[in-house]
Amino acid sequence: MFVQGIDIPEGLDPPDPNDWPYTVPAVGRLLTEPLEFHAPVTFLVGENGSGKSTLVEGIAEAYGLDARGGRAGRKYANNRPKTPLGEGLRLDLTQRGARQMSAGRRSRTGYFLRAETTFGFAEAVSGMHGYWDENLSEHSHGEGFLIILNAMFDKPGLYLMDEPEAALSFMSCLRLVGLMHELAESGSQIICATHSPILSATPGADIIEVGDHGARRSKWEELEMVDHWRRYLSGPGKYLRHIIDS
C-alpha cells in the first residue's frame, strides 16, 4: 500500500466547515477524524452527492495526479490550481508511499481514471510515448476503457478510479474485477468510487459507505445499493410503480 489514511490537518488558516466541500458529511469529517485505508483495494460507495468522487479527486491531487485524470509523472499535472480539498488534504503515507513521493515526479507510478473526462484526455494522448498505441476512436466506449486500464494499470502503483463502470458491460466489469485483484496481489493499491455491486464484490476489498452519516465500513451484503439491486432485479415493478403512472 501507498496511502494508509487521509485527513485535514489543523493549520493557521483552517478550512471553514460551512464552505463546500466540507459541508458534505464524508468530507467534513476529515476536519476532526481521519479516514483510514485497511486493504490494497478500497471502494467508496454511496448516492450521488455523497462525496465519494470528491474524496478520490482530493487524494489524486494530494498525490500529484491531475484531478481531470491521467498517469503519475505527467509534467504539467502539478501546475494546475488544485481543488479546495486537494489543497488541504494530508496523506498518511506508508514507507513505500513516502519513498515514491520523495523520489520525484518521474518515479511515481499510478493513474487516476475519471469516467467523465477519460475520453477527452485520451484523445489528446493516444499514440504518445508512455500511453497506448491503439486508436480509441476505432473501438467502442467500453473497449476503449479496457484498453486504457490494461495499458496504464500495468505495474505496482497507486490507482484511483471514479465510477469506471460507467462505460462497462457486466462482463467487462468482471474483467476489471480480475485486473484489480491481480494488481492488489502484485503490490498495488486501488481506491475506487463506484455505484457497482459487481466491482465492490472484489475479493478482499474494504468497502466504505459514505452518506449523510459521514463514512462507515460495511460488508458487501449489507450495502444499501446491493439491497436495492437485489430487490429490483427480483421484481422491477415494486420500484417502477412509484415512478411510472399505471
pLDDT, tens only, 19-36: 999 999 999 999 999 999
Percentage of residues of the chain with pLDDT beyond 70 = 88
Asked if residue 80 has pLDDT above 70, the reply is: no
* Cβ–Cβ < 8 Å for 202, 180: yes
Query: Residue 243: how many CA atoms within 13 Å on its side-chain side?
Result: 5
Please give the pLDDT value at position 246: 54
Please give the pLDDT value at position 79: 61
Please give the pLDDT value at position 54: 94
- Using alpha carbons, select from 9, 54, 35 the residue that is nearest to residue 163: 54
- Number of neighbouring beta carbons within 10 Å of residue 194: 26
**How many Å apart are CA 147 and CA 142, to the nearest integer?**
9
* Cβ–Cβ < 8 Å for 110, 71: yes
Largest CA distance in the chain: 63
128 DSSP 8-state letter: S
Helices (H), 17-103: 25-28, 52-62, 84-88, 95-102
**How many Å apart are CA 23 and CA 230, to the nearest integer?**
32
Set of cell numbers at residue 12: 493557521
Set of cell numbers at residue 176: 476489471
Query: Where is 158: in which H helix or E strand?
Result: strand 158-162
CATH of domain 3-220: 3.40.50.11940
Please give the pLDDT value at position 21: 93
**How many Å apart are CA 192 and CA 240, to the nearest integer?**
29
List the chain domain ranges: 3-220
- Report the pLDDT averaged over residues 168-174: 93
Asked if residue 97 has pLDDT above 80, the reply is: yes
- Number of neighbouring beta carbons within 10 Å of residue 187: 13
Please give the pLDDT value at position 33: 94
Asked if residue 172 has pLDDT above 80, the reply is: yes
Query: Where is 190: in which H helix or E strand?
Result: strand 189-194
- Using alpha carbons, select from 203, 209, 164 the residue that is nearest to residue 69: 164
- Label residue 164 by pLDDT band (50, 70, 90): very high
Residues written for the chain:
246
Please give the pLDDT value at position 103: 76
* 132 vs 230, residue with greater confidence: 230
**pLDDT tens, position by position, 121-144:** 666 666 666 677 777 777 777 788
Tell me the pLDDT of the chain averaged across its residues.
87
Please give the pLDDT value at position 220: 97
Determine how β-strand 110-114 pairs with β-strand 70-71: antiparallel
Please give the pLDDT value at position 175: 92
